[in-house]
Structure 1
Amino acid sequence: MYNLLISAGAAVAVFLIVSLSAGFQQYWWAGALAALVVFLGSFLVISRIVTKKLEAIMEPAMKDIQAQRFEKGIRDLKSALRFGKWQIYVESQINSAIGMVYFVRRDFSTAFPYLEKGFFKNWVTMGMLAVTYMKRNKQDKMKETFDKALMGTPKESLLYALYAYCLNEIGETVKGCEVLAKGVSKLPGDENLKQNLELLREGKKMKMKGYGEMWLQFHLESLGTIQKQQMAAMGGRRRIIRK
């Protein structure tokens, strides 16, 4: 990353200048201290500059996406990828954002390469990637992705439930129970996890309704089920007004 290289280069230069000027054998520690200060200062300044430039692109892009101006929003997000070489994790976070937009819009094939290059601590997009692997019959990759997501985000209820749901879908119900049990141990007061653990142990289908819209974005429910849930959230069927 350019930030690290520039900061390290400045630190080395300062170390050599201070050490050689003061006497390397006696005062090398002064050079090392000065180099550390310069490295941290340079790194923080460059990080701040890059962050501000990213915010100037990302905030309007996300507003466009929320307003369903998807093409413009995605185009702006892609333009921000040029900062990926400057700051660690920037490129992966932008790829996660782009992949999520395509996935939510059900453009799964386009979303896939972006999700693959996404940020491992973004549990939502990691979940979307794992679901994609499941649908492509890549069960080992699915499990690997979920396990990596749980390492990065160990206290997210829906992530445990999603993992267990997918395991149950591929016929690994026992493993699904183990994942839910692990989730309960991490989140002992979570009723959704407890309920679904009992349902799986009884050989019944998991109930994901408690997770609301967050669950629906993974597109594992049929469109008919989604519509019923949305109608229920709006208070059932609309009343017919008779004149």
Structure 2
Amino acid sequence: MYNILIAAGSAVAVLLILLFGFKLAWWSSLLIALALFTGVYLITLRLIMKKVMVSIEAAGKDLQAQRFEKAIRGLKDALKYGKWQIYVEGQINSQIGSIYYIKRDFANAFPYLEKSFFKNWASMAMLAICYMKRQKKDLMVRTFEKAVQWSPKEHLLWNIYAYCLNECGESTKAKEVLEKGLKKMPGNPQIKENLELLGQGKKMKMRSYGDLWFQFHLESVAAVQKHQMAAMGGRMPRRKMVRR
């Protein structure tokens, strides 16, 4: 990453000047060089992250206004900062992939989700679902395992993992996943309920999560529309009449 290289280059240059130019003791020179490295690194980190946050906040406003393409363009432009700071590229790829996925543009979502930040559990879950839909169960499991390793307290993640395994005909493994989730979050009502349902040979209940669940598109479009109508009090949205 550029900021590390800049900080390291500055520190090495100062170290050599102090050692051979000013004949300073090696331990004093090293301490000064390390302090300089830390200072330069933190300053460049702050500057870069400030620019990244401006791009992410602008994308968030565009998403709220349903300007999806503009949000994606802004985030893609921010990818240039990935060369400056570690993990920035992965975080931005997570955002872009998630937007495409939510729009059901799975083909465009997939390459960005593949480069997602491993601590972004939602984008990792979306990637795992993409693998499931591509009949790559091993990669699905590997991705989910990585996601729960870094986000063990996300009960929706554990439930989605189990749901996908159950959909693949692996009900026993699905129950094992929920049991692991309960160990991380003892007494969690959602995990506990779904574990009991699977034990009874019934379908898992996920709709209590609302839009958080439906954004993963694991249910039919009709089910999503039914949920949206229920949220609106059972009324279809009114359409403006166009007079000719």
TM-score normalised according to structure 2 size: 0.92
State how 1:100-111 maps to structure 2 within 5 Å: 100-111=98-109
Structure 1 distance, partners of 2:85, 2:145, is: 26
- Is contact 1:19–1:30 with CA below 8 Å preserved after alignment? no
Structure 2 distance, partners of 1:168, 1:56, is: 41
Residue type of the partner of 2:135?
Answer: N
State how 1:40-119 maps to structure 2 within 5 Å: 40-119=38-117
1:2 equivalent to 2:2? Answer: yes
Please give the secondary structure, in 2, of the residue aligned with 1:155. coil
Residue type of the partner of 2:124?
Answer: M
Look up the match of 2:17. Answer: 17
C-alpha deviations, 1:27-66, integer Å up to 9, x for none? 2111111111111100100011111222232211221122
| TM-superposed deviation, 1:106 | 0.2
Look up the match of 2:183. Answer: 185
Look up the match of 1:216. Answer: 214
| TM-superposed deviation, 1:82 | 0.8
| TM-superposed deviation, 1:17 | 2.0
| TM-superposed deviation, 1:22 | 5.4
Structure 1 distance, partners of 2:211, 2:54, is: 28
Please give the secondary structure, in 2, of the residue aligned with 1:32. helix
Residue type of the partner of 1:164?
Answer: A
Structure 2 distance, partners of 1:226, 1:54, is: 33
| TM-superposed deviation, 1:211 | 1.3
Residue type of the partner of 1:145?
Answer: T
- Is contact 1:121–1:152 with CA below 8 Å preserved after alignment? yes
C-alpha deviations, 1:75-118, integer Å up to 9, x for none? 11111111110010111111111101100000000100000011
Residue type of the partner of 2:194?
Answer: N
Look up the match of 2:160. Answer: 162
Name which of 111, 116, 132 aligns with 1:134: 132
C-alpha deviations, 1:138-193, integer Å up to 9, x for none? 00000010011111111100000000000001111111111101111111131000
| TM-superposed deviation, 1:215 | 0.5
Structure 1 distance, partners of 2:226, 2:54, is: 39
Look up the match of 2:224. Answer: 226
Structure 2 distance, partners of 1:115, 1:83, is: 18
| TM-superposed deviation, 1:23 | 4.0
Structure 1 distance, partners of 2:44, 2:99, is: 29
Look up the match of 1:200. Answer: 198
Residue type of the partner of 1:93?
Answer: Q
- Unaligned residue ranges in structure 1 (runs of 5+): 239-243
Q: Give the CA RMSD over aligned residues.
A: 1.4
| TM-superposed deviation, 1:72 | 1.3
Name which of 163, 171, 180 aligns with 2:169: 171
Bigger shift: 39-48 or 221-230? Answer: 221-230
Structure 2 distance, partners of 1:72, 1:233, is: 28
Structure 2 distance, partners of 1:209, 1:72, is: 30
Bigger shift: 55-64 or 153-162? Answer: 55-64
Percent sequence identity over aligned pairs: 59
Count of equivalent residues:
236
| TM-superposed deviation, 1:230 | 2.3
Structure 1 distance, partners of 2:80, 2:235, is: 48
TM-score normalised according to structure 1 size: 0.93
Structure 2 distance, partners of 1:135, 1:73, is: 26
Structure 1 distance, partners of 2:53, 2:224, is: 34
Look up the match of 1:241. Answer: none
Structure 2 distance, partners of 1:102, 1:176, is: 28
- Is contact 1:8–1:39 with CA below 8 Å preserved after alignment? yes
